[in-house]
Structure 1
């Protein structure tokens, strides 16, 4: 354990059988794997939902205490301890982790923006500080200088700032958005802070500028960034662009352009798979898996492009086994804590989405488009088909609910609820329109301000939509329908997506929403994966659910896993009570033996991690 946590949490791991309540109003424990800090000697519970907490308390503390099997500390992490039940509070010891108490001489609003992984470094440099109380700007100067080792005075322009950000990125120390904005404001740099506020935005900005640079248009001076360019392309952060020939191409530009498409795709797949292997070796947090999922989506798109040889394709299968095995292991250990993480900087799970949008809805009209069944690799294909070059995509990610089926995960999006809190009709999407309206009504919006639509495909005529509403939720079934009709391969699905995008309706719909002053977001309820039938019938208590890789039983009828096939009894984190869920391991499906299937319902990375994209027009 490092010095920061050791001093703050000294002795907690030895207090087995006790309740420890961590008061964490700033949320910096939300991204720290507490159980890893204490070698698994602590059961961690985030207090967000009183009903779910009561269930976990009775299951993980009271029952085990009464039967003498309680051998760990029961830790409760809360932003406000007032809501914790009295019987728990009276038995527990309270530990105050408020940042203003730990760093009293710094501005706490600035500290809250830091990645929790940097608090140890801040704690170290702060312990040597012997000055007075700092203002917000003084705190920014102190942290930028002492934690990030940047001299603001040396940053004179856009290229200097981007060079500094890239250097920090490769140290895994991205500057928070408010610090980037502060440098831009203080040094009067001519760039919109929103473009480069995080790694995703920075890469999107560089990709756009690279396209301008290669085509001879006005752009930033990449010659001043050439130290980073080769790595940015070989590591998969940027995509190379096709050119007619290599005449006049400098050696430092070579990684970012190509003439031979098939050869370049093969090299890019090998480059990305090497980086994936490096990331897999040290994947711990959900953000690590977001990075892996983004790279895997591009690898999947290349694999199913049809222009690579069998040798490269076999490399895909080898790495895929490693990705899925390690992801499944991580999910079984960590997935249960994801529903309770902070969504302030972005949703971690799909039910966080309306809560995240709520904080933006008081300043902007909001349109949320849910592309049912769209995986990250599907989105990569769709994004590449947009013709409007002024369209900008801030590509985020979040976790779908497991099992990855529509009546669980999509309903969570529109209700903003953990599935165990659904009111009736556990395996139906019928209530989602009413639940969308209820969520926004409780947020203070009137009935006429809220709209919900469900389309099989994007309609030709858009005039019938209520553009006077402030909040619009839209379901589009086209991708899921194409996936279920592409029974044989992902290759066929991706080709059908390219053909579908040629009609231009999705792009026209998004442009129409933007012209009507909507802030547009796009997401999915679950992805899909190429699977192979195991010869086993799906059956179960709910045999007509839409996933080919899940079985659902009620607890009364559950006969246990006696199939002999590769399936997992999913722990049921946050799911409706009274059911048992089995999901397929690997690429198996509940279908005839060796039958190819493009399906969902399971726990593969393609099914579980989905896009959450903010779309906007270039200023």
Structure 2
């Protein structure tokens, strides 16, 4: 909804050359830029007078750029003859939401603009004071009627996307919408029975197309966790990769609100089965599981991380850390930091998804991640946050014993079996899926629990991972972009 508001304010697609004064950095959000570019506009950030003069003379006046959005974040000199080419538009929170307080909107963290836009259009009160805007953002938009309206919009978005051709980028969008939907379901304690079921469509995608993802172009960014290291190392910049073991998209939506830094969120596919030993090793080694020394153990993780990074730099520039309380060396140029908090919370959880979300909220409030990000930025690192797999609430169907490879004793969503003759029997008894084993050693059988089920005590509700649900498989890959929310 925010995108449509912005298109209307800018006058798309009725104007060819638009100069946008954007003091609130509203056009800094990737999905908004993507929507503008989809209308066949070139987007240029105005930074340098002489640089743009060259573009103006050689490309705009010559007719090579037919449509252009020129973004100004600050007052810079623009020559009169250039100004004459453009329609000037002021884009600020005051223009988009005149009944809300602009300064509060600038200061708030990780706002869901579609949610805000929907509630704004459905209410008529004046919330323009600071106090009232805080009330609107912290209370009003979370009232049940507004959450139900937003849930209906998310359902419509999912229905539209599910009807489109199958493509991994479509599933990234669906995963993001589904994560927001799950937070509402958890908050209102709703049943999923009457909501759109994406299970079968995603399962079909995984079983038919997941095996071809490793061959996709990663020019714009990694698609799978195994491509993250090469993507970051090729940049040849001082980089810190914080790996939040077990972080789902929903977890990130909660944590982002507690960061003092602007972030750009993309997505990658975890390895399946979605367990740490397989997927985090693949992430840090930059290898497919079948290429790892031992994909079922973490004993070689650190060594394989160093081996990968040494393809690009000297070992003295590489470090592997654990926990928040680290002190990077002045020599460090590429570092990985492992944070196990979320995975630990998942496996200790006794109160289902509601309890898990509350724990993630407390984790964000504690501020340890925020402090770590700030420390790394202060000493010159580009900071990325990654995850090896997500997590999901499931219902136990019972647990077979003495037949699977002990990959990760905490996982209750999968079995890895070697030389066991009765696979069909156990598959039938526990409603398991026989996974094709894409990118995995071929001398094992891989059995996965279905979406809402787990190999746990019968009737027990647990939080876990290891399966092939969209919550477990598609995870956030985040770049910290600014030193504050409005940079």
Under TM normalisation by the shorter chain, which class is it? Answer: 0.7 to 0.9
Indicate whether 1:216 and 2:102 are aligned: yes
Secondary structure of the structure 2 residue equivalent to 1:157: strand
TM alignment of 1:232-251, pairs within 5 A: 246-247=125-126
Secondary structure of the structure 1 residue equivalent to 2:219: coil
Per the TM alignment, residue 247 of structure 1 is displaced from its structure 2 partner at its CA by: 1.8
Q: Say whether the 8 Å CA contact 2:435–2:446 is kept in structure 1.
A: yes
Other-structure match for 2:333 = 470
Other-structure match for 1:584 = 449
Q: Say whether the 8 Å CA contact 2:100–2:126 is kept in structure 1.
A: no
Deviations 1:321-342 (A, max 9, x none): x211211011111101111211
Deviations 1:183-232 (A, max 9, x none): 9844663149xxxxxxxxxxxx9999979993233999xxxxxxxxxxx9
> Which of 404, 414, 439 does residue 550 from structure 1 map onto?
414
TM alignment of 1:528-567, pairs within 5 A: 528-537=391-400, 539-543=402-406, 545=408, 546-554=410-418, 556-563=419-426, 564=428, 565-567=430-432
> Which of 167, 179, 200 does residue 285 from structure 1 map onto?
167
Other-structure match for 2:274 = 404
Secondary structure of the structure 1 residue equivalent to 2:169: helix
Give the 3 Å change call, closer, same or farther, for CA 538–278 of structure 1 in structure 2.
Answer: farther
Distance in 2, Cα, partners of 1:372 & 1:326: 27
TM alignment of 1:587-606, pairs within 5 A: 587-606=452-471
TM alignment of 1:394-473, pairs within 5 A: 394-423=264-293, 425-443=294-312, 445-455=313-323, 458-459=324-325, 462-463=326-327, 465-473=328-336
Secondary structure of the structure 1 residue equivalent to 2:411: coil
Indicate whether 1:329 and 2:210 are aligned: no
Per the TM alignment, residue 497 of structure 1 is displaced from its structure 2 partner at its CA by: 1.3
Distance in 2, Cα, partners of 1:240 & 1:210: 13
Other-structure match for 2:437 = 572
Give the 3 Å change call, closer, same or farther, for CA 454–558 of structure 1 in structure 2.
Answer: farther
TM alignment of 1:54-65, pairs within 5 A: none
Aligned residues: 417
Q: Say whether the 8 Å CA contact 1:514–1:616 is kept in structure 2.
A: no
Per the TM alignment, residue 481 of structure 1 is displaced from its structure 2 partner at its CA by: 0.3
Q: Say whether the 8 Å CA contact 1:537–1:591 is kept in structure 2.
A: no
Other-structure match for 2:251 = 378
Deviations 1:325-360 (A, max 9, x none): 211011111101111211110110001101111222
Indicate whether 1:154 and 2:40 are aligned: no
Deviations 1:293-318 (A, max 9, x none): 0011111112222xx2x6xx13x343
Secondary structure of the structure 1 residue equivalent to 2:424: coil
Per the TM alignment, residue 426 of structure 1 is displaced from its structure 2 partner at its CA by: 2.6
Q: Say whether the 8 Å CA contact 2:37–2:43 is kept in structure 1.
A: no
TM alignment of 1:124-203, pairs within 5 A: 154-158=17-21, 173=38, 179-181=42-44, 185=52, 186=55, 189-191=71-73
Per the TM alignment, residue 282 of structure 1 is displaced from its structure 2 partner at its CA by: 1.8
Where does structure 1 lack aligned partners over 5 or more consecutive residues? 1-148, 193-204, 221-231
TM (norm. structure 2) is 0.77
The structure showing larger relative contact order (alpha-carbon pairs under 8 Å, at least 6 residues apart) is 2
Secondary structure of the structure 2 residue equivalent to 1:561: helix
Indicate whether 1:345 and 2:220 are aligned: yes
Give the 3 Å change call, closer, same or farther, for CA 503–239 of structure 1 in structure 2.
Answer: farther
Secondary structure of the structure 1 residue equivalent to 2:416: strand
Q: Say whether the 8 Å CA contact 2:377–2:383 is kept in structure 1.
A: yes
Secondary structure of the structure 2 residue equivalent to 1:301: helix
> Which of 485, 492, 496 does residue 348 from structure 2 map onto?
485
Q: Cα RMSD (Å) of the superposition?
A: 3.5
Q: Say whether the 8 Å CA contact 2:412–2:464 is kept in structure 1.
A: yes
Deviations 1:27-72 (A, max 9, x none): xxxxxxxxxxxxxxxxxxxxxxxxxxxxxxxxxxxxxxxxxxxxxx
Give the 3 Å change call, closer, same or farther, for CA 512–274 of structure 1 in structure 2.
Answer: same
Q: Say whether the 8 Å CA contact 2:94–2:102 is kept in structure 1.
A: no
Give the 3 Å change call, closer, same or farther, for CA 540–526 of structure 1 in structure 2.
Answer: farther
Per the TM alignment, residue 544 of structure 1 is displaced from its structure 2 partner at its CA by: 5.1
Distance in 1, Cα, partners of 2:330 & 2:185: 40
